[in-house]
Chains A and B, each alone.
Chain A
Amino acid sequence: MKPVTRRKFMTAGIAATVGVAGVAVADRLARRYGLLPPDDGGIYGPGETLTYAAQRILGRHALAREFPRSMISATPFLNPVAPPSDAFKRSQASGFSDWRLAVDGMVAHPGSFSMADLKSMGTRSQITEVACEEGWSYIAEWIGTPLRDVLQEVGVHPQARYVAYFSIDHDWWDSMDMGDALHPQTLLTWGMNDEDLPVGFGGPLRMRVPRQLGYKNVKYITRLTVTDSMKGIRDGLGSAAPAGGYSWYAGI
């Protein structure tokens, strides 16, 4: 083994110092610009943070790909979910006339909206692909009220950073950052392929986040919470997904 020369030693020392300082600066910048995902801890934290930060820097306002009507899948795959609760069945029996979407948290006017209220706020339709983390996908036309119209209606506080969304099934919830929440393609979806959204596909109300994978598109939405931190909500990881082993950010 050759002796370590002074030059080598000093070069290594400078490289190590620059490396440590670089990581510290990167961490500070990531915090300031909101580039850390809620599940940034643990052995997979660095990978998650790099993925989330890179995607946010790359295209905060980019639109998910939209497709011509001719590409709508004739046989979209209906991904089975747990059997509906009694509360869901009661609402279904009434044609979801009593379905409500509650909005609370960091908003000026917390409120609760019926399906008719939502439909009167604004309508947007888009033909986008649902891609599951398992690998399958289909294209459908999704019709709904942009989430940002609802957020404008209730008046979001400027320090808000996330919107958590909850299914009627207590254990099924998720959240997204304001970049996705205010994104024009993020829809509180109530229609699919010119029909009411079928129950199997999440009707009466499903969150549609086309820049993320299927599992962020939670079905049977009943409540939104606007917040500046995921720490105080449930397990603090921003979603039911990390507890089940899945990452919070699903844009990849």
Chain B
Amino acid sequence: MGVPMRQRSWTCYAARVSTTAPIAKSAAPRHAAVVRVTHWLTVIAFFALLISGMEIVISHPRFYWGEVGNVNTQPAFVIPIPSSRGSVPTGYKFEMPDENGWSRYLHFEAAWLLVLTGLVYVVYGLGTGHFRRNLAPARGERSWRDYRDVLRKTLRREKTDAAEAHTYNAVQRATYLVVIFGLIPLVIWTGLAMSPAFTAAMPWVVEALGGRQTARTLHFFVSWALVLFVVVHVTMISMAGFRSRMRAMVTGRAAAREGA
């Protein structure tokens, strides 16, 4: 991707200059080292969890509400795919290979990577003011109109100014906060609610959700919400200039002269 791509770069990084964070023309990196490292560790954990999670779902592609659910009970919904277990009635004549063993090993190891990386990131973010400065809604960008403006500009693919490369706009900030403090904690919570030993120690974790099968079904939905986020995230990055955004998240340097 060359110059034309760069010229069409508007959205991903802020429609407006944040009044609380003046643009640093100095050597300050676009993304701090801790942010970059935890970002890529989270990417690794996310895809390991997604692939292994899908394999685990294949062994029982039926979902239920409440405490219990099995092939003898009414499902809330069924994913119309073949199963890796012959005991699940799917309507298909063949069985998928059983991949649950390594999938479970990988799922929980990747879950630890996600949790530990997340802890480092959150401690860093609170300690350095990263959340307050970069992710909390910027002063003067807290009305509904600000969100609407960003969405309109994005959808119309309007050009925005060069400051975009150095800060996040209102919609980006809201989205990242929902993912970091909403969806990821929720996916961890609903996952832990399926652990028989964890719920022995802390029964409220599953009881507050309304039962083990409800926890499993919510875990599935929240996972897809995260997939949706990743798809939009990568799409926006591609629109804004994939190479410059990747360089910023890998090396920390924003593309200063590109206006990207």
Contacts and interface: CB of A to CB of B under 8 A. Distances in A.
- Chains A and B form a bound pair: yes
Contacts of B158: none
Interface residues of A, number: 44
B185 interface: no
Interface in A93-147: 129, 131-139
Contacts of A137: 67-70, 212-213
A57 to B, nearest CB: 10
A31 to B, nearest CB: 19
A76 B72 CA distance: 7
Contact of B196 (A44, A212, A247): A212
A51 B72 contact: no
A241 B105 CA distance: 12
Nearest to B85: A134
Interface string A65-93: 10100010101110110000000000000
A252 B27 CA distance: 46
A62 B200 contact: yes
B152 to A, nearest CB: 40
Given A134-B60, A139-B68, A251-B197, A129 B112 contact: no
Interface residues of B, number: 41
A166 B14 CA distance: 63
B190 to A, nearest CB: 13
A251 B200 CA distance: 10
Given A47-B108, A252-B108, A59 B200 contact: yes
Given A129-B67, A136-B70, A44 B200 contact: no
B71 to A, nearest CB: 6
Interface of A: 2, 43-44, 46-48, 50-51, 55, 58-59, 62-65, 67, 71, 73, 75-77, 79-80, 129, 131-139, 210-213, 241, 244-247, 251-252
Interface of B: 27, 56-57, 59-60, 62, 67-73, 85-87, 100-102, 104-106, 108-112, 194-203, 206, 212-213, 216
24 contacts: A2-B27, A43-B109, A48-B105, A50-B112, A51-B112, A55-B197, A59-B197, A59-B201, A71-B68, A73-B68, A73-B73, A75-B72, A77-B87, A129-B67, A133-B59, A134-B60, A135-B57, A135-B59, A136-B71, A211-B196, A245-B100, A246-B100, A246-B101, A246-B104
